[in-house]
Amino acid sequence: MRLIIPLGRYDSLVRVTETESAPRRVWLIRHGESESNAGLPTDGPAAAPLTPSGRRQAERVASAFSAAPSLIVSSPFVRARETAAPTRARFPDVPYEEWPVQEFTFLGALHGPNTTNEQRRPHAEAYWASPDPARVLGGDGETFRALVARARTMLDTLAARPEPGLIAVFTHGLFMRAAMWTLLTGVTDPTAGQMAAFHRFAEVGRTPNGTIVELRPGPPDLFTITFGTAEQGAVPPAAEAVEDAASHA
């Protein structure tokens, strides 16, 4: 069995009141359904666009804001930028930046052109079956150690930003979980055993397309984590998780 983190309706999220007076908040937002998520072939990890369902999810994310965020951030990957587009259109005066918050691209060249998740799955399963935080796949794949460092860099950057109120970050499932995991564990330089523990964490948690994870300032130099979603309706506790480390493209 897999643990599914229950996610409430988007309108049950704590709402922003006024940008100028609201406390610092960060929304990590997983992109809408991509063509790769839907099982279609894609040309590398960055290129998959949203499906019609993914575009509807992006519109629902935009409607979850009751006031303008102070900053909109996106991964450079197409699916994240397309998910951010309705929010940017709704708040055209809000500054927009692209940060290196893209998905974990551990397959490198093994994520070849015109391949599907199912075709890439054996490579992904072999990667996680032999955890090595410094391992490079496909000639130019990202290491797990580099993923954790990127997540920490994002968290440090967010903590240092001067903007009040809400910062919206449009990003990806495994990257979001890496950020949550390093906050929960304090791990910044993972061992092989800790990499295996992260994989377990990523497998039993669920971040559907359109998931919103809220971070708020907590203990010194840390954030606290709250879960929500832009999907209509709650995820039933007994629902079956269908995500895995190969399905986040």
The per-residue pLDDT for range 94-141, each reduced to its tens digit, is: 999 999 999 999 998 888 788 999 999 999 999 999 999 999 998 889
pLDDT digits (tens, 9 = 90+) for 18-70: 443 457 899 999 999 999 999 999 988 999 999 999 999 999 999 999 999 99
All residues at 6 or more sequence positions from 200 whose CB lies less than 8 Å from its CB, including other chains: none
Give me the half-sphere count of Cα atoms (radius 13 Å) on the Cβ side of residue 240. 1
The amino acid sitting at 38 is A
Q: How confident is the model at residue 222 (pLDDT cuts 50, 70, 90)?
A: low
Domains and CATH numbers, the chain: 10-229 (3.40.50.1240)
All residues at 6 or more sequence positions from 122 whose CB lies less than 8 Å from its CB, including other chains: none
Predicted pLDDT at 19: 45
Q: How confident is the model at residue 217 (pLDDT cuts 50, 70, 90)?
A: confident
- What value does the CA radius of gyration of the chain take, rounded to a whole number of Å? 17
**Strand, helix or coil for residue 168:** strand
Q: What is the pTM of this model?
A: 0.84
Token pair 């440090």 is found at 156
10 vs 23, more confident: 23
